[in-house]
């Protein structure tokens, strides 16, 4: 995915200040053969992309498995549509955030399901986004916009 696509199109980065030291860069190349950027340069992620990476951080999944994982993780508040998912997946692969892997599941082979895995770079990007969101949440809490009590899980 192009950096602007990962960020929702505007190209602005709000990452809480990157070190620029390369600490959040992982070795490797994108599928286009380009050097991977700093993880913080991919921020902010769109909500659907962040949830796709979160789902794949737990385990390898096929597309429908990602849709179900996101739906379950958000208690149904975010429902990825197939068009959103299958538009994002090739860009995520192209930019080195996820990779398509061979499935060990015979049923997956028969159904031609593509199984995806989070790459080390994708994990670094998801981690950087998690820190960015945590920093924003802390700021909102300090301004009295979020209660200091732990939120109830539904």
Any domain includes 26: no
Which domain, by its residues, includes 123? 46-146
Q: What is the pLDDT of residue 100?
A: 96
Per residue in 4-46, pLDDT (tens digit) is 445 544 333 333 334 344 444 445 666 667 788 899 999 999 9
Q: What is the mean pLDDT of residues 67-73?
A: 98
Which of 22-26, 51-55, 116-120, 125-129 has the least mean pLDDT? 22-26
pTM, two decimals, is 0.76
| Number of domain units in the chain | 1
Report which of 80, 82, 23, 20 is spatially closest to residue 50, judged by C-alpha positions.
80
d(Cα 124, Cα 30) in Å, to the nearest integer? 14
Any domain includes 53: yes
Per residue in 73-112, pLDDT (tens digit) is 999 999 999 999 999 999 999 999 999 998 766 654 556 7
The CATH number given to whatever domain includes residue 108 is: 1.10.10.10
Any domain includes 111: yes
């Amino acid at each position: 995915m192009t950096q602007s696509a990962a960020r929702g199109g505007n190209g602005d980065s709000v990452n809480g200040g990157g070190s620029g030291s390369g600490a959040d860069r992982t070795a490797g190349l994108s599928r286009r053969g380009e050097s991977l950027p700093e993880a913080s340069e991919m921020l902010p992620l769109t909500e659907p992309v962040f949830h796709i990476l979160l789902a794949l951080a737990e385990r390898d999944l096929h597309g429908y498995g990602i849709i179900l994982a996101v739906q379950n993780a958000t208690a149904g508040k975010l429902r990825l549509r197939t068009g959103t998912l299958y538009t994002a997946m090739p860009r995520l692969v192209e930019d080195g955030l996820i990779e398509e892997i061979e499935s060990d599941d015979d049923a997956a082979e028969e159904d031609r399901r593509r199984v995806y895995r989070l790459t080390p770079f994708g994990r670094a990007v998801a981690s950087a986004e998690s820190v960015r969101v945590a920093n924003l949440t802390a700021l909102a809490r300090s301004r009295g916009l979020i209660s200091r009590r732990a939120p109830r899980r539904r």
